[in-house]
Amino acid sequence: MPTNIVVIGMGYVGIPMAVLLADVDDFYVTGIQRRSQRSGWKIDWLNQGKNPYEGEEPGLDELIERVVKSGKFKVTDKYDDVRDADYILIDVQTPVDDEKIPRYASLLDVSQKIAKHMKKGVTIILESTVAPGTTDNVVQSILEENRGFKRGLDFFLVFSFERVMPGKLIEYITDFPRVIGGGCQEANDKAKFLYGKVVKKELQVTDTLTAELTKCIENAYRDVNIAFANEMALLCEDFNRNVFEIINLINYRHDRMMHFPGSGVGGHCLTKDPWLLLYGFNKYTERLNEAKIKIIPDARKINDFMPYHMIELMENVFRDSHRLVDNIKVALLGVSYKANTDDTRNTPTENIVKVLRSRYHSHNIEYIAHDPFVHERDYKLTKLTNDFNEAITNADVLMFTTNHSEYYDIDLDDLKKKVRTPIIIDGRNIFEKKLVEGKGFTYRKVGEGSKNH
């Protein structure tokens, strides 16, 4: 008997999961994607067997092409196939707003549509990250109220979070352990059957709330560690030393793994999941330890500050040279938040541009961004080019915000000839200070003092 699967949300999570499942014998997968102006083009693109993402995604191009040609994967904006689905995976975005409150519009809409169409016995798996308590208190309530179905009897509901990362979408699904948080044994068994077909590592079963907490705490842990690295970078700048040398000395111990600082934390997960964790804590607990919750919000503040610090480094150069930030061309090298991908979600570059424009709105500043992978449809803040020479020619400030591979191969002598003012602000430890300054550049780097010693 064939297994019919619906995956709702054709993004960085939904696409790789859908095509991996479609590559399994007797699995037939329908992807559902809203036909919006921003992302509706993915429907036609995927149905032609094409990968909508640029950048390095090993194995994804071939997998999409294969499952589309085999007739086992299709994408639509209709919910008709939900009626026959044995499994429904929810992979929609769950962002937070400026007040750090979850925006569940997509999740609520999808849950209501599923409730109207789902058959008895279906297994629904929420893979999107949500605040702890959301699966039981929000999604379950919607699914049960619409037609009187009961979880664990008429349908099964599981929270099993994704761990994908742009650049490693396939690998992080197949080669990472999978946490399964169902409401009953049968729900867990059904989820284990599905994931067991594509996941090579352990399938770890727990309750729903524990699974939700695991995802949020896992990402908050990483965010806190990055914040510590960023704080130490600022400290080392004041000591006039190089934090990257210090990190290498620390990590030479086999039992240490200090993170690296940079121009800011981007992406869809680390910038919001700590806030989802705190939202769930505030909403679904008695908050007996509320006064002790300090590290997570402090870490978020530090990481959000780093794009501002990039601007501070630039301003210090202008101040030291007794120049005004006026009549200049600023080249932003890297728009995606992560190297060698096209993912622009919460990119530090966005905040750099917004702050510069706010601070110097009456000054004559030309902005241009360069990225080898990002399309104009995903970046509207400034002019965008894939031509590195166009970006840097006659530039007065080169701000490296993403460590794309091609930036490590720059000919500094040629670069010096093409810029108008040789200033580099390095937010990703791409260059060595002595080498760059030896070529005649004024150089500032996150995590390294400006004076020679």
Which residue type does 324 have?
L
Closest CA to 21 of 57, 74, 58: 74
pLDDT over 90, % of the chain: 91
Per-residue pLDDT averaged across 422-444, rounded? 97
pLDDT over 90 at 172, yes or no: yes
pLDDT of 271 higher than 90:
yes
The answer, yes or no, to whether residue 96 has pLDDT greater than 90, is yes
Write the DSSP symbol of residue 378: G
pLDDT category at 290 given cuts 50, 70, 90 is confident
Give the β-pairing of 365-370 and 397-400.
unpaired
Q: Summarize the confidence of residues 307-331 as an average pLDDT.
A: 96
Q: What amino acid is encoded at 406 in this protein?
A: E
Which member of 190, 269, 338, 433 is catalytic? 269
CA 42 to chain centre: 19
- Cα–Cα distance measured from residue 269 to residue 242, given in angstroms and rounded to the nearest whole number: 29
Cβ atoms of residues 237 and 448 within 8 Å: yes
- The two structure tokens encoding residue 47: 């149905």
Separation CA 126–CA 158 (nearest Å): 6
| Arithmetic mean of pLDDT, 322-333 | 95
Q: What pLDDT score does 41 carry?
A: 84
Q: Average per-residue pLDDT in the chain?
A: 95
CA-wise closest residue to 14 among 55, 64, 62: 64
Average pLDDT over residues 238-263: 96
d(CA 159, CA 135) in angstroms, rounded, equals 7
| Model confidence at 148: pLDDT above 80 | yes
Percent of the chain with pLDDT over 70: 99
Residue 92: its pLDDT value, please? 96
Query: Are the beta carbons of 299 and 336 closer than 8 angstroms?
Result: no
Query: What pLDDT was estimated at residue 289?
Result: 80
Q: How many CB atoms lie within 10 A of CB 285?
A: 12
d(CA 218, CA 204): 15
Residue 377 has pLDDT above 90, yes or no: no
Looking at the chain, which residues constitute the CATH 3.40.50.720 domain(s)?
A: 3-206, 207-453
The stretch 179-205 carries a mean pLDDT of: 97
**What one-letter code names the amino acid at 392?**
I
Please give the average per-residue pLDDT across 322-326, as a whole number.
92
Give the model's pLDDT for residue 100. 95
- Strand ranges in 185-339 using DSSP code E only, listed in sequence order: 203-206, 328-333
* DSSP conformational letter for 198: T
Give 181's contacts (C-beta < 8 A, 6+ positions apart). 135, 158, 159, 160, 205, 206, 207, 208, 209, 210, 211, 212
Query: For residues 401 and 379, is the Cβ–Cβ distance under 8 A?
Result: no
Nearest to 337 by CA among 447, 228, 263: 263
Q: 207-453 — its CATH code?
A: 3.40.50.720
Distance separating alpha carbons of residues 154 and 397, to the nearest angstrom: 62
pLDDT of residue 51: 94
- Alpha-carbon span 412 to 409, nearest angstrom: 9
Side-by-side strand order, sheet with 156-159 = 73-76, 27-32, 3-8, 87-90, 123-126, 156-159, 178-182, 203-206
Whether the Cβ atoms of residue 337 and residue 348 lie closer than 8 Å to each other: yes
pLDDT at res. 442: 98
Mean pLDDT of 361-384: 93
| Residue among 42, 72, 192, 215 flagged as catalytic | 215
Tell me the residue type at 219.
Answer: N
Its sign, for the CA torsion 291, 296, 299, 301, is negative
CATH node for 3-206: 3.40.50.720
Note the pLDDT of residue 288.
80
Averaged pLDDT for residues 373-393: 95
**Residue 451 binned pLDDT confidence (cut-offs 50, 70, 90):** confident
65-68 long-range contacts (CB < 8 A, ≥24 apart) are 66/23, 67/19, 67/22, 67/23, 67/29
pLDDT band (50, 70, 90) for residue 173: very high
Helix (H, G, I), strand (E, B) or coil at 163: coil
Q: Which structure tokens are listed for 437?
A: 């300054």
Name the phi and psi angles at 124, rounded to 5: -110, 125
The region of weakest confidence among 39-53, 202-216, 248-262, 340-354 is: 39-53
Per-residue pLDDT tens for 124-141?
999 999 999 999 999 999
- Alpha carbon distance 31, 12 (integer Å): 13
Above 80 in pLDDT, residue 291? no
pTM: 0.94
Residues in the chain: 453
Residue 450 has pLDDT above 90, yes or no: no
Residue 344 has pLDDT above 80, yes or no: yes
Q: What is the pLDDT of residues 100-121, one digit of tens each?
A: 999 999 999 999 999 999 999 9
d(CA 271, CA 414): 37
Q: From CA 96, how far away is CA 78, in angstroms rounded?
A: 27
Question: At 73, which helix (H) or strand (E)?
Answer: strand 73-76
- Is 215 part of the annotated catalytic residue set? yes
The span from the CA of 127 to the CA of 413, in Å, is 49
